């Protein structure tokens, strides 16, 4: 059981940890070359939540089934799952398409020699950062639920 808990915690931290750094990568006031590098790096970092996050959910479900954590409908368990799904919807449903728009412009060969980022791309990047911060807030609440287990065994 301890090994399963270890895998669960490590996959959660390694899986969602990189999300905390992407807004730093996509910061304001960077040039096109820096933004290109940041987008490539962010794309690589987003591989971690896809595998680590899924592993955390699966090991979490196993922990619930194999342990005596009480009813699945406790705030900390059910709430964590709902928040995880919401974060995934934000990441995959809202952020990913916006990042794709940014990447399409940045890596289009006809923009290779551009020296300024167009205003619409800057606005999309700002929206992406806001959405990342929102997803990060949800993830922090999940970690709080996992650690403090509010209203456990109710």
**Band of residue 140 on the pLDDT scale cut at 50, 70, 90:** very high
pLDDT level of residue 129 (50, 70, 90 thresholds): very high
Half-sphere exposure in the Cβ direction for 108 (13 Å, CA): 10
CA atoms of 56 and 144, how far apart (whole Å): 15
In whole angstroms, give the CA distance from residue 17 to residue 24.
13
Structure tokens given for 130: 């806001």
User: Quick one: how many helices (H) and strands (E) in the chain?
Assistant: 8, 0
**pTM (predicted TM-score):** 0.88
- Residue boundaries of the structural domains of the chain: 2-148
What does the mean pLDDT of the chain come to?
Answer: 91
State how far the alpha carbon of 87 is from the alpha carbons of 11, 18, 19, 151, in Å: 16, 14, 11, 22
93 — pLDDT class (breaks 50, 70, 90): very high
């Amino acid at each position: 059981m301890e090994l399963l808990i270890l895998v669960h915690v490590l996959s959660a931290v390694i899986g969602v940890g990189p999300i905390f750094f992407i807004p730093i990568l996509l910061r304001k006031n960077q040039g096109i070359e820096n933004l290109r590098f940041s987008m490539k790096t962010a794309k690589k970092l987003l591989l971690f939540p896809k595998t680590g996050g899924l592993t955390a959910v699966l090991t979490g479900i196993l922990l619930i089934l194999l342990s005596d954590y009480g009813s699945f409908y406790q705030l900390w368990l059910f709430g964590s799952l709902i928040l995880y799904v919401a974060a995934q919807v934000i990441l995959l449903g809202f952020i990913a398409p916006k990042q794709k728009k940014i990447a399409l412009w940045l890596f289009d060969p006809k923009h290779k020699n551009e020296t300024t980022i167009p205003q619409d791309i800057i606005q999309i990047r700002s929206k992406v950062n806001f959405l990342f911060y929102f997803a990060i807030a949800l993830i922090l609440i999940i970690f709080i639920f996992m650690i403090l287990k509010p209203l456990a065994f109710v």
